[in-house]
């Protein structure tokens, strides 16, 4: 029982670390996009859509980690 709880916690910690990574990544994407838009406001639409796509890719990596955490948790 105690071991099970520990496994769950470790998985949660792993998911948390992955979330940190994804957070940094999405932050970088947002930063880059805002800088790009401020430099070239006329390209704002293109930049925004590429930003969303890139963010979705980074988020997917974090969610992979969540899946792995679920696997570990089960």
Q: Which residues bind another protein (CB under 8 A)?
A: 1-2, 4-5, 8-9, 12, 16, 52-53, 56-57, 59-60, 63-64, 66-67, 70-71, 73-74
Angle at alpha carbon of residue 12, lines to 28 and 52, rounded to 5°? 30
Q: How many CB atoms lie within 10 A of CB 45?
A: 9
- The residue (of 41 and 74) whose beta carbon lies closer to another protein is 74
Q: How far is the CB of 64 from another protein (least distance, A)?
A: 6
Q: How far is the CB of 41 from another protein (least distance, A)?
A: 20
Q: What is the DSSP string of 2-30?
A: HHHHHHHHHHHHHHHHHHHHHHHHHHHHH
Q: How far is the CB of 25 from another protein (least distance, A)?
A: 15
């Amino acid at each position: 029982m105690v071991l099970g709880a520990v496994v769950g916690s470790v998985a949660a910690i792993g998911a948390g670390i992955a979330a940190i990574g994804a957070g940094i990544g999405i932050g970088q994407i947002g930063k880059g996009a805002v800088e790009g838009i401020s430099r070239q406001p006329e390209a704002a639409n293109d930049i925004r859509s590429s930003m969303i796509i890139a963010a979705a890719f980074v988020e997917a990596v974090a969610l992979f980690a969540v899946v792995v955490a679920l696997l570990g948790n089960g």
